Amino acid sequence: MTFDATFWVAVSFFIFFGALFYLKVPGKINELLTSMITDIKKEIDESEKLRTETKRMLDEAQKKLNTADKEVNKILKQAKNDSEKLVIEMNEKFHYSSEIKKNATKQKINQMKESAIKDIKNTSIKIAIESVKKIISTSVDKSKLDNLFDKNLEETKAELKKINS
């Protein structure tokens, strides 16, 4: 019986697989694969934990950000209200101050007007008196002047009695 190459390949095949089973290579491969699967499961579990922790931290950060946004909006709203109140207050103070200055200016103008009118009256009276003096001294004699004075004196007394009664 002659053995051909196929026979020897088959024999070497069985010897090879026999050696593998004798040396417990499939069990070692199984153990290696099982340990790799376990390591991969551990890494997956750890990555899930990390993902959960990251999600939790992200949610906390988002809450803090939302709280900060609300606080910023609140502060901005308060600042806007305060600035509006300040503008209104300053505007009222300005109007009040301008009204006071306006009234003071009106009073000064009225005082100056009254003073000017008094000055004009006084000057007019002085000029009139001096003119009357000149006219009287140059044109009227002393007896007519005394009669005129007595007559005016009586009229003035009568007017004063009317005013007093």
Q: Give the pLDDT confidence of 64-113 residue by residue, as tens digits.
A: 999 999 999 999 999 999 999 999 999 999 999 999 999 999 999 999 99
Domains: count for the chain: 1
Asked, for residue 154, whether it belongs to a domain, the answer is no
Asked, for residue 163, whether it belongs to a domain, the answer is no
Q: What's the pLDDT score for residue 60?
A: 95
DSSP string spanning 100-162?
HHHHHHHHHHHHHHHHHHHHHHHHHHHHHHHHHHHHHHHH--HHHHHHHHHHHHHHHHHHHHH
Eight-state DSSP code of residue 24:
T
Give CA–CA dist 14/21, Å, rounded.
10
Q: What's the pLDDT score for residue 153?
A: 80
Reported pTM: 0.42
Supply 65's token pair.
Answer: 């950000």
Mean predicted lDDT score pLDDT of the chain: 87
Asked, for residue 149, whether it belongs to a domain, the answer is no
Mean pLDDT for 113-140 is: 78
Parent domain of 125 = 8-140
Asked, for residue 91, whether it belongs to a domain, the answer is yes
Asked, for residue 128, whether it belongs to a domain, the answer is yes
